[in-house]
A = this chain, B = another copy of it.
Amino acid sequence: MTKTGAIGVFDSGIGGLTVLRALLKTLPDESFVYFGDTARVPYGNKSAETVLRFSRENVQFLMDEGVKFVVVACNTASAEAVPTLQREFPVPIVGVIEPGVRAAVKMSKAHHIGVIGTAGTIRSGAYQRGIEDLDPQARVIALACPLFVPLVEEGWIDTPITETIASTYLQDYRKEGIDVLVLGCTHYPLLHDVIGRVLGPRVALVDSAVETANVVRERLEADGLLSDGGEPHLSIYLSDIAPNFREVGERILGRPIPDVRLLTV
Contacts and interface: CB of A to CB of B under 8 A. Distances in A.
A239 B265 CA distance: 14
Nearest to A245: B47
A50 interface: yes
Interface in A25-46: 38-40, 45-46
Contacts of A45: 153, 242
A148 to B, nearest CB: 10
Nearest to A168: B161
Interface in A145-162: 146-147, 149-151, 153-154, 156, 161
A243 interface: yes
Given A161-B164, A161-B168, A46 B150 contact: no
Nearest to A164: B161
A132 interface: no
B240 A46 contact: yes
Nearest to A53: B264
Contact of A151 (B39, B147, B168, B240): B147
Interface of A: 38-40, 45-47, 49-50, 53-54, 123, 146-147, 149-151, 153-154, 156, 161, 164-165, 168, 239-243, 264
19 contacts: A39-B40, A39-B46, A39-B50, A46-B240, A47-B240, A47-B241, A47-B243, A49-B240, A50-B239, A50-B240, A123-B243, A146-B154, A147-B147, A147-B150, A147-B151, A149-B150, A161-B164, A161-B165, A164-B164
